Amino acid sequence: MIIVTTDNIAGKNVTQTLGLVKGSTIRAKWFGKDIISGFRQIIGGELKEYTEMLVEARDESTKRMEDEAVKLGADAIISVRYQTSMVMAGSAEILAYGTAVKHA
**CATH number, residue 32:** 3.30.110.70
pLDDT of 12 strictly over 80: yes
Burial track 79-88 (b if 16+ CB lie within 10 A, e otherwise) = ebebeeeeee
Nearest to 16 by CA among 64, 69, 82: 69
- Measured distance CA(95)–CA(9) in Å, rounded: 22
pLDDT of 97 strictly over 80: yes
The residue type of 89 is A
Q: In the prediction, which pLDDT does 92 show?
A: 81
pTM of the model: 0.81
Q: Identify the domain containing residue 52 by its residue range.
A: 2-103
pLDDT of 41 strictly over 60: no
pLDDT of 36 strictly over 80: no
The total number of structural domains in the chain stands at 1
